[in-house]
Amino acid sequence: MELFKDTHFNFLGRKWWFILPSLVLILAGFASILARGGPLYSIDFKGGAEMEVRWEGAPPIERIRAAVSSRLTGVSVVAAHDLTGSNEVLVSAELPAGADLTGVRQTIEQALATITTRYSIRNFEVIGPQIGEDLRRQALMATASASGGMLVYLSYRFRPAYGVAAVAAMAHDALITIGLFSLLHQEISLTVVAALLTLVGYSMNDTIVVFDRIRENRRTHAREPLAETINRSINQTLSRTILTSGLTLLTALSLLLFGGHVLHGFSLALVIGIVVGTFSSIFIASPILLAWEQRRSGCGNPRGSLSTGGVR
């Protein structure tokens, strides 16, 4: 099935139409993160307690927050969020190093009992600050390892220029996703990191499809300017890219709309990442590849810089 047949869009000729909005989003995300003093981490990475409570009737958010704050002494942040449409409230508290983790649940229950006894606890979890720090370090190592492994693979399977372009596009996806989370005031949790790692592979797969077509076209059009080859390759894979990404996006949207609070961060990261990853595989990775080869060859229209002799 082909969504678009025999297209001839000049993607590279209008590359700045797409690169500039990406730069604006990245800068806006950085500004938001700096304004907040860093990314908004969940208790998975900061350490703390989180309790999901079902309330009879509309939960009194401010009273819940005040009651828990008065009982949990020495706690830096206490938050209570209404889980829309379910009469459920999520109570979370950041715990300092050395806090008594064993008595946190009982303390929160006692605070809620001062308001009403007509509630039920749906879920409770507590993570120590040191464990949160270890999880954050491991998440960064996992992301860096995945990026490094893909760079090495693409450099071997194609050429170093392909690897650099693909990893740069992947970094673009991660930066925009994290920046949008900050702009939307969404927490980064372990499930969000899992979504980011999923998107790393998904975006890389989309980029490899385009790069593989570029490589095939270089075999049959070795004397053609590289920019024309790249444009042709993107047009030839456009239907596949949009259909695959569109179907995956529908699944992610279903999770976002109907998955509930537990899957909200994961599904939101997927939705953002799928859109941004599809965008970058077309409008970011290929211009970077072209710019790299133009700089290496020292001319505006490199012809033989990606010759078939370099194909493995």
**Would you give the end-to-end CA distance of the chain in angstroms?**
30
Residue that is last in its domain, among 127, 152, 186: 127
Give the pLDDT of residue 101. Answer: 65
Quickly count: other Cβ atoms within 10 Å of residue 205's Cβ. 12
- Whether residue 272 sits in one domain with residue 183: yes
**Are 258 and 298 contained in the same domain?**
yes
pLDDT of residue 308: 40
Q: What is the 3-state secondary structure (H, E, C) of the chain?
A: CCCCCCCCCCCHHHHHHHHHHHHHHHHHHHHHHHHCCCCCECHHHHCEEEEEEEECCCCCHHHHHHHHHHHCCCCCCEEEEEECCCCEEEEEEECCCCCCCCCHHHHHHHHHHCCCCCEEEEEEEEECHHHHHHHHHHHHHHHHHHHHHHHHHHHHHCCHHHHHHHHHHHHHHHHHHHHHHHHCCCCECHHHHHHHHHHHHHHHHHHHHHHHHHHHHHHHCCCCCHHHHHHHHHHHHHHHHHHHHHHHHHHHHHHHHHCCCCCHHHHHHHHHHHHHHHHHHHHCHHHHHHHHHHHHHCCCCCCCCCCHHHCC
pLDDT of residue 114: 86
* Residue span of the structural domain in which 82 resides: 48-127
- What six digits make up the tokens of 12? 């590279």
pTM as predicted: 0.79
> By the 8 A CB rule, do 234 and 210 touch?
yes
Taking phi over 0 as left and psi of -120 to 50 as alpha, with beta for the rest, 58 belongs to beta
Same domain membership, residue 216 and residue 188? yes
Same domain, 113 and 227: no
pLDDT, the chain, mean: 81
The residue out of 94, 111, 127 marking a domain boundary is: 127
Specify whether 19 is located in the same domain as 112.
Answer: no
Give the residue ranges of the chain where pLDDT is below 70. Answer: 1-4, 73-86, 96-102, 129-130, 132, 298-312
Contact between 307 and 222 (Cβ < 8 Å) = yes
Q: Given this model, what pLDDT does residue 260 score? A: 75
Last residue of a domain, one of 127, 161, 195: 127
What is the number of domains present in the chain?
A: 2
Q: Do the domain assignments include residue 2?
A: no
Rounded-to-integer distance, Cα 131 and Cα 46, Å: 8
pLDDT reported for residue 90: 80
Position 82 scores a pLDDT of 59
CATH number of the domain encompassing residue 188: 1.20.1640.10
- Is residue 182 domain-shared with residue 76, that is, in the same domain? no
Q: What is the predicted pLDDT for the residue at 258?
A: 85
- Strand 119-127 versus strand 48-55 pairing type: antiparallel
Distance between CA atoms of residues 294 and 234, nearest Å: 19
For residue 203, what pLDDT is reported?
Answer: 84
168-205 pLDDT, tens digit per residue, is: 898 899 999 999 999 998 888 888 988 888 888 888 88
Residue 251 within any structural domain of the chain: yes
Phi, psi of 91, rounded to the nearest 5 degrees: -105, 125
